[in-house]
Structure 1
Amino acid sequence: MTSPALLRPARAATPMAFVRAIVRGYERYGADPAGALQAAQITPRELSRPDARVTAGQFEALSGHAMQELDDEALGWFSRRLPWGSYGMLCRASLTSPDLGVAIKRWCRHHHLLTDDITLALEVSGGVATLRITENRPLDEAFREVCLVTTLRFLHGYVCWAIDSRIPLRDAAFPFAAPPHRDAYPLMFTADVRFDAPEASFSFDERYLALPLQRDERALRTMLKRALPLTVLQYRRDRLLGQRVRELLRSRASEATTAEALATLLNVSSRTLHRQLHEEGTSMQALKNEVRHEMAVDLLRRTTRPIKQVALSVGFRNEKSFSRAFLQWTGHAPRDFRQQGK
Structure 2
Amino acid sequence: MPAPAFLRPGRAATPMAFVQAIVQGYARYGVDPAAALAQAQIAPQELARAGARVTAAQFEALNAHAMQELDDEALGWFSRRLPWGSHGMLCRASLTSPDLGVAIKRWCRHHRLLTEDITLELQVADGIATVAVTEHRALDPAFREFCLVSTLRFLHGYACWAIDSRISLRAASFPFAPPPHRDAYPLMFTGDLHFDAERASYSFDERYLALPMQRDEAALRTMLRRALPLTVLQYRRDRLLGQRVRELLSARAGGPGTGEALAAQLHLSSRTLHRQLSEEGTSLQALKDEVRREQAIDQLRRTTRPIKQIALAVGFRNEKSFSRAFRGWTGVAPGAFRQEGR
TM range (shorter): over 0.9
String of CA shifts for 1:127-162, please: whole Å, max 9, x gaps.
211110000111111111110010111111111111
Task: Kindly state the Cα deviation for residue 234 of structure 1 after the two structures are TM-superposed.
Answer: 5.9
CA distance in 2, matches of 1:319, 1:110: 60
String of CA shifts for 1:198-252, please: whole Å, max 9, x gaps.
0001111122111112222222111111122145526211111111111121112
Describe the SS at the equivalent of 2:154: helix
Letter in 1 for 2:259: A
2:311 corresponds to: 311
Asked if the contact 2:71–2:82 (Cα under 8 Å) also holds between the matched residues in 1, the reply is yes
CA distance in 1, matches of 2:95, 2:334: 50
1:88 to 2:88 alignment: yes
String of CA shifts for 1:299-337, please: whole Å, max 9, x gaps.
112211112211221122222332333233233432333
CA distance in 1, matches of 2:328, 2:144: 60
String of CA shifts for 1:37-59, please: whole Å, max 9, x gaps.
11112222112324322111111
For the aligned residues, what is the CA RMSD? Answer: 1.8
Describe the SS at the equivalent of 1:282: coil
2:132 corresponds to: 132
Asked if the contact 1:255–1:261 (Cα under 8 Å) also holds between the matched residues in 2, the reply is no
Matches within 5 A, 1:29-108: 29-108=29-108
1:248 corresponds to: 248
2:27 corresponds to: 27
Structure 1 residues 48 and 255: alpha-carbon distance in aligned structure 2, compared to 1, 3 A threshold: farther
Task: Kindly state the Cα deviation for residue 192 of structure 1 after the two structures are TM-superposed.
Answer: 2.4
Structure 1 residues 290 and 213: alpha-carbon distance in aligned structure 2, compared to 1, 3 A threshold: same
Asked if the contact 1:6–1:231 (Cα under 8 Å) also holds between the matched residues in 2, the reply is no
2:324 corresponds to: 324
Compare 82-91 and 262-271 and name the one that shifted more: 262-271
2:118 corresponds to: 118
Describe the SS at the equivalent of 1:310: helix
Asked if the contact 2:311–2:319 (Cα under 8 Å) also holds between the matched residues in 1, the reply is yes
Letter in 1 for 2:102: V
Task: Kindly state the Cα deviation for residue 178 of structure 1 after the two structures are TM-superposed.
Answer: 1.6
Asked if the contact 2:166–2:236 (Cα under 8 Å) also holds between the matched residues in 1, the reply is yes
Letter in 2 for 1:113: L
Describe the SS at the equivalent of 2:104: helix
Matches within 5 A, 1:176-191: 176-190=176-190
1:141 corresponds to: 141
Asked if the contact 1:7–1:232 (Cα under 8 Å) also holds between the matched residues in 2, the reply is no
Describe the SS at the equivalent of 2:151: helix
Compare 231-240 and 308-317 and name the one that shifted more: 231-240
Compare 325-334 and 155-164 and name the one that shifted more: 325-334
Normalised to the residue count of structure 1, the TM-score between the two structures is: 0.94
Matches within 5 A, 1:176-325: 176-190=176-190, 192-230=192-230, 232-233=232-233, 235-252=235-252, 254=254, 256-325=256-325
Structure 1 residues 191 and 315: alpha-carbon distance in aligned structure 2, compared to 1, 3 A threshold: closer
* Number of residue-to-residue matches in the alignment: 342
Task: Kindly state the Cα deviation for residue 71 of structure 1 after the two structures are TM-superposed.
Answer: 0.9
Give the unaligned 5+ runs of structure 2.
none
CA distance in 2, matches of 1:87, 1:332: 59
Compare 146-155 and 166-175 and name the one that shifted more: 166-175
CA distance in 2, matches of 1:47, 1:274: 40
Asked if the contact 2:80–2:115 (Cα under 8 Å) also holds between the matched residues in 1, the reply is yes
Structure 1 residues 261 and 182: alpha-carbon distance in aligned structure 2, compared to 1, 3 A threshold: closer
Normalised to the residue count of structure 2, the TM-score between the two structures is: 0.94
Give the unaligned 5+ runs of structure 1.
none
Structure 1 residues 337 and 90: alpha-carbon distance in aligned structure 2, compared to 1, 3 A threshold: same
Structure 1 residues 328 and 6: alpha-carbon distance in aligned structure 2, compared to 1, 3 A threshold: closer
CA distance in 2, matches of 1:236, 1:121: 27
CA distance in 2, matches of 1:190, 1:81: 30
CA distance in 2, matches of 1:280, 1:271: 14
Asked if the contact 2:254–2:314 (Cα under 8 Å) also holds between the matched residues in 1, the reply is no
Matches within 5 A, 1:12-23: 12-23=12-23
Asked if the contact 1:169–1:203 (Cα under 8 Å) also holds between the matched residues in 2, the reply is yes
Describe the SS at the equivalent of 1:11: coil
